[in-house]
A and B are shown apart, each in its own frame.
Chain A
């Protein structure tokens, strides 16, 4: 962590520093377990951590079968949003006309809380996966457009001047200079956008769905099986973590490929 200022690091503080967060985590978990066991707290309100673990073991097949619909729709939405957003950002930095016409509208549109459109997507695209896919694309495309447009605009002016004096065409400058230099913007936007795609799919599943982890959470909620609810949330964490680390890896490869690293 570069964020943490490092005082004199001895061997011992090194060990202490890596154990402290784990210790805190285990303490909270232990207190939770002890408290719920000691007071015999209603299982439907706050199940014990061990009960959540048992729920995962018991419902392993159910949970894993619901991962696929959620993860595939989220991934699909994210990929479509990235490609479409990239296309729009490139279009807007290629043509001043397109940018002046589109950009203020996009920024203005972004102010509307996008989550509010979820029921309308169900109304427009039906209750199958299309509505969730559409909604995921809709909510995850904005960070890509906005941050890529900023990235493509903020290229080092001296580089653009160099391209101009070497008589590079506008397209050449765009794809060979502006695009590689805006990769960091794209990567941070992709990280934001994959989280938003997950949110979109889960909210869509809350509204109407017959499959997916969001649906499973609602079903477990209806049956007051709070342990299964928390188990599904945990599985969602794993899906999110997987996507996030995949993007981190892909971004590293991309940077190597474009020679930024």
Chain B
């Protein structure tokens, strides 16, 4: 995999060092500007804490914050796995059964319009303020993009391939397994990536509303106590959680695409 990455890098030609130096220079400039505004006391420290403080808190409260991060990570993971299982089975049913497709698909499209974010309090009402509520809410948010994009992928197999399958007397299940699924994989993984983002959103919003544990709780609690530096440090931890989950998903995508079609991830 490492060799592949190296090859990719060479292909895209990060040949000139400018492409690496410029973004870093811009980032440094922003941080310096931030430090400058703090030094000049344009804003009170409550609104804009010095960047040094954020780093200090990030490092000093490692143990405490990492505990909250692990709780968020665990809930996101659980919700995402459940959303994948439910979403992929629904889209398989939609693909395999003509009747189910006609009945369910239009409803799915309409239900996608419901602003699911507004349902957060309802989930607390139904599932209490524990882990269950946040996980269920994460599932609810992630489910629709996963179902819609994977069934779009599974249904849009090229006509010629399907005709070839039926002239070779392949059964519905055979066609599904060896033609529809491999062709749909890129779109399925696109859906899963959107779903993962939404799962994280769901869990964090759930933590905002229920306020028990987790990074979302830490952020809103610190913000309401005017501890902006703690909020910002907590956001960095949330970034770490997001990166862990995304890296895992991208690795799985890479392996699955290799296995199924011999085509590497784009």
Contacts and interface: CB of A to CB of B under 8 A. Distances in A.
A91 interface: no
B155 A203 contact: no
A100 B22 contact: yes
Contacts of A117: 235
A112 B204 CA distance: 12
B118 A236 contact: yes
Contacts of B26: 101-102, 105
B31 to A, nearest CB: 11
B117 A202 contact: yes
A118 B117 contact: no
A61 interface: no
A116 B115 contact: no
A237 B115 contact: yes
B263 interface: no
B115 A198 contact: yes
A21 B107 contact: yes
Interface in A221-235: 221, 224, 226, 229-230, 232-233
Interface string B188-206: 0000000001001100110
A185 interface: no
A117 B219 CA distance: 8
Contact of A240 (B23, B99, B113, B204): B113
A5 interface: yes
A247 to B, nearest CB: 13
A45 B125 contact: yes
A199 interface: yes
Contacts of B167: none
B23 A101 contact: yes
B208 interface: yes
A229 B46 CA distance: 35
Interface stretch (B83-91, B131-139, B221-229, B254-262): B221-229
A150 interface: no
A120 B231 contact: yes
B220 interface: yes
Contact of A233 (B114, B231, B235): B114
Interface in A75-120: 97, 100-105, 111-113, 115-120
B242 A113 contact: yes
Interface in B142-186: 152, 155-156, 159, 162
Interface of A: 1, 3-5, 7, 16-17, 20-21, 23-25, 44-45, 97, 100-105, 111-113, 115-120, 122-124, 195, 198-199, 202-203, 206-207, 213-214, 217-218, 221, 224, 226, 229-230, 232-233, 236-237, 240-241, 244
Given A105-B30, A111-B243, 5 more contacts: A101-B22, A112-B238, A113-B204, A202-B115, A218-B121
